[in-house]
A and B are shown apart, each in its own frame.
Chain A
Amino acid sequence: MRGGSRDRRAELTLGAVAVGVLALIALMVVIVFTKAWPSFSHNGLDWFGSGGDADVQLKAMIQNTPLPGHSIYYFRAWPLLWGTLLTTGLAVLIGLVFSTFAAIFIVEFAPDALRRVLDPVVRLLAAVPSVVYGLVGILAIAPWVEHHLISQERKRSVEYVVQLTGANLGVAILILTVMITPIMVAITSRSLAAVPRTWTEGSAALGVNRWRTTWRVSLRTARPAIIAGAVLATARALGEAIMLSMVSGSRGFAANPLDGTTFLFEPVRPLAATIIDYIDGLSVVPLAQTLYAMAAVLLVSSAMLSLAGWAAKQPLKKYGIRA
């Protein structure tokens, strides 16, 4: 058969491309970790702990003057990790509630005219580039917050540790929520719409009202999709660098929840944004290795998220829903 060998060749070529892509990813993981290793090995597990000002430590690396009593690699990432946890965690939590209600509205309650508007609206919000969100945040929202919500007393109350500006944790969370909500709305509403009609009809036939039917039957069926959406949104929030470096205040400060509402106005800076902010110092070896260590942490976190997302999607296959 003449076509046989050509057929085989096609399979091998395509397979080789696929394996090539796989190898590239493996290479990425290995290279990033190799480069990051000195930073981890000099600091041990304390890398993740708290101790001193992360910005001071990073600047010491740029100037090649080790902090007194420490090696040049001395670095404690806690303020940055805390910033990442706060921005990502709170944005995903708020987004989860917001997106669930919005998705229920789109699928169950919205009048047809509004539904036709909401579909493109969700798509639009998901497509706006992050730098545009950042620009709106830094030029429109941050000045407004600075003038209307941060009083002089508030500034004075924490001025011995940190200076409050319009770019802060609260604004970062607000914009991040707007960025990631559409992802969750899209996935949740798609799976709510895919809930078998007979199930909700059965519930309605038993005299259960529309809200309770949605809440008890549809939402419960769609739960894996909601989790999958949240996982995807978390990955996006975790990796968001540009927008957050613009509106989070860009200061490696561990915002303190004990400060009450002032907490929301304190500056933070997540890991990804830190990499962007210090990228000009990449030629300084210890700093570069520290930045790659941050990248390694992000890489591991996003890989774990992919895994969690995969696990969350498994029950969905039962219903033949692709999320």
Chain B
Amino acid sequence: MRSQPATAGTGPAAKPRSKPRDSISSWPWTDRIAYGLCWAAGIALCAIAAWIVLYMAIKGVSYLKPSLLVQSPVGSPNQSGSGGFLDPIEGTFLVTAIGIVVAAPLGVAVAVWLSEYARPAGLARAVESGVETIAGTPSVVLAIFGLLVFSKSFLAFLSQTSAGGAVFGRSFLTAGLIMSLLAIPLIVGSTREALAQVPAHVREASYALGKTKATTIRRVLLPSVRPSIASGITLGMGRIIGDTAIIVILLGASLRLEGAGGAPILSILRGTGSTLTSYVKENSPAGEGNAPQKAYAAAFVLLVIVIALNAVVVRLSGGQSHADGTL
């Protein structure tokens, strides 16, 4: 009905599905108060979001200089000399990349198994609740679990070993691996949901052409749920980028990327560093740097990345809300 211009007086009635209409003024006063509370809650949500975005934008834009994005951090007692946050940005991308590279295949595999095979049923239920358990586990618990595991000597190749033979357990690899646990439930959730919505006749058509189940999954089902996998991955990226506890515990506190000898790429992966989130925390009054301007600038960059990822998710999932990230 878009083509018809709305004329005065027919506004609500012109809608295809009108709500039950009654005049607020006829309501009992308790109902009117409740109605007012609803408006207040809705407006409050908008106001809070607007305040946070505007506040961060004003602070961010006023402190963010292009040079900050290309300089490495320098240890310095005052903020004018403490350099930029190139290394934290690189660190964020590195950790996210490692986390997603690990989580995407695992998450898709688990989702496909759960929705297409799921035999025996008891095992499937156990796996399902296992995935739900990781989703509910605080990231700080995942992080100190990771530290314990990666400090074992047979996993020393993932991080550095000190002169005394103690395994450090902290590196981009270990942080990325634990980060993948944050993303797996989101990828499993959105892939499963999409697989459940593929109509049965699509599978049957493939079987009727003589394709095996494995081929059907690879050639028919996975291509058809690709957007959902992508949106799960993007949600996972948002989660990884925003997490601080795992970085603080598993990446160590060095602001620069500090390689750990040996081969060029591997040394960075096994080395320590920082990401935007740990940089923000370090430079806030709660950390040691106490350079609030740098913290604001980095937090603004972080917020922009997260909002951009969010927009991608909305694009991919056709406007459906995944704000809660449930399974």
Contacts and interface: CB of A to CB of B under 8 A. Distances in A.
Contact of A210 (B22, B52, B238, B324): B22
Interface stretch (A44-52, A65-73, A183-191): A183-191
Contacts of A241: 138-140, 244-245
Nearest to B275: A131
B20 A213 contact: yes
Interface string A1-34: 0011011011101110111011011111001100
A190 B20 contact: no
Chain A contact patch, size range: 35 or more
Contacts of A15: 113, 117, 119, 123
A10 B217 contact: yes
Given A18-B113, A124-B53, A185-B45, A246 B281 contact: yes
Interface in A165-203: 178, 181-183, 185-187, 190, 200-201
Contact of A232 (B106, B215, B284, B324): B324
B244 A129 contact: yes
A200 B142 CA distance: 44
Contacts of B140: 239, 241, 272, 275-276, 295, 298
Nearest to B295: A135
B174 interface: no
A14 B27 contact: no
Interface stretch (A112-120, A152-160, A251-259, A261-269): A112-120
Contacts of A60: none
Given A15-B117, A302-B136, A126 B299 contact: no
B254 interface: no
B284 A282 contact: no
Interface in A74-116: 98-99, 101-102, 104-106, 108-110, 114
Pick from A109, A131, A276 the residue with the most CB of B within 10 Å.
A131
B149 A21 contact: no
B1 to A, nearest CB: 14
Contacts of A183: 323-324
Interface in A293-319: 295, 298-299, 302-303, 305-306, 309-310
A136 B321 contact: no
Contacts of B183: none
B302 A209 contact: no
A59 interface: no
Interface residues of B, number: 96
Given A123-B310, A292-B144, A14 B112 contact: yes
Interface string B310-323: 10001000010111
A7 B213 contact: yes
B113 A132 contact: no
B110 interface: yes
A124 B307 contact: yes
A100 to B, nearest CB: 8
Main secondary structure of the interface of B (DSSP, over half): helix
Interface string B1-38: 00000000000000000011010001100010011011
Contacts of A245: 286
Contacts of B258: none
A188 to B, nearest CB: 10
Contacts of B217: 10
Contacts of A205: 20
A24 B139 CA distance: 15
Contact of B242 (A118, A129, A186, A292): A129
A322 B248 CA distance: 35
A235 B303 CA distance: 23
5 contacts: A32-B148, A117-B46, A132-B303, A181-B45, A239-B137
- List the 6 closest A-B pairs by CB distance, nearest first: A239-B138, A129-B242, A204-B20, A3-B212, A10-B214, A105-B42
Interface of B: 19-20, 22, 26-27, 31, 34-35, 37-42, 44-46, 48-49, 52-53, 55-56, 106, 109-110, 112-114, 116-117, 119, 123-124, 126-127, 129-142, 144-145, 147-149, 181, 184, 193, 211-215, 217, 238, 241-245, 248-249, 277, 280-281, 284-286, 292, 295-296, 299, 302-303, 306-307, 309-310, 314, 319, 321-326
Interface of A: 3-4, 6-7, 9-11, 13-15, 17-19, 21-22, 24-28, 31-32, 35, 98-99, 101-102, 104-106, 108-110, 114, 117-132, 134-136, 138-140, 178, 181-183, 185-187, 190, 200-201, 204-205, 209-213, 215, 229, 232, 235, 238-242, 245-246, 250, 272, 275-276, 279, 282, 291-292, 295, 298-299, 302-303, 305-306, 309-310, 322-323
Given A15-B119, A109-B42, A298-B141, 19 more contacts: A18-B110, A18-B127, A105-B38, A105-B42, A109-B38, A119-B319, A122-B323, A127-B306, A130-B242, A131-B242, A132-B52, A135-B284, A136-B52, A136-B56, A139-B296, A276-B140, A291-B144, A298-B137, A302-B133
